[in-house]
Amino acid sequence: MVDYVGYIAGLLVTFALVPQIMRVYKLKSAREISVIYNSSMLLGLILWLVYGLMLGLVPIIIWNIIGIVLAALLLLAKLKYGR
């Protein structure tokens, strides 16, 4: 039962990035996205992944891998469309 809470929490938090990513790529504008926010988010997700790997916590591992990909996409969009 406890794992279900982790899976649901991870799903909600991770996919909160999706609408922002879609908006940036659709509008081809990322001026409102902060590089500092996105970089610190990406670093935090990487550290959470390391933590999950160290403890063998599957929900944390899965959602942080997905979160890293999404945050990297947003950071790439910022670098491409951030002007």
Q: Contact 74/38 with Cβ under 8 angstroms?
A: yes
Q: Which domain holds residue 11?
A: 2-81
Q: What is the DSSP string of 12-77?
A: HHHTTHHHHHHHHHHHT--TTS-HHHHHHHHHHHHHHHHHHHHHT-HHHHHHHHHHHHHHHHHHHH
Per-residue pLDDT of the chain (83 residues; tens, 9 = 90+): 777 888 898 899 989 999 999 999 999 998 888 999 999 999 999 999 999 999 999 999 999 999 999 999 999 999 999 87
Chain position carrying tokens 């999404």: 70
| Domain of residue 13, CATH code | 1.20.1280.290
* pLDDT in the model for residue 67: 96
CA atoms 6, 60, 15, 7: torsion sign? negative
| Total structural domains within the chain | 1
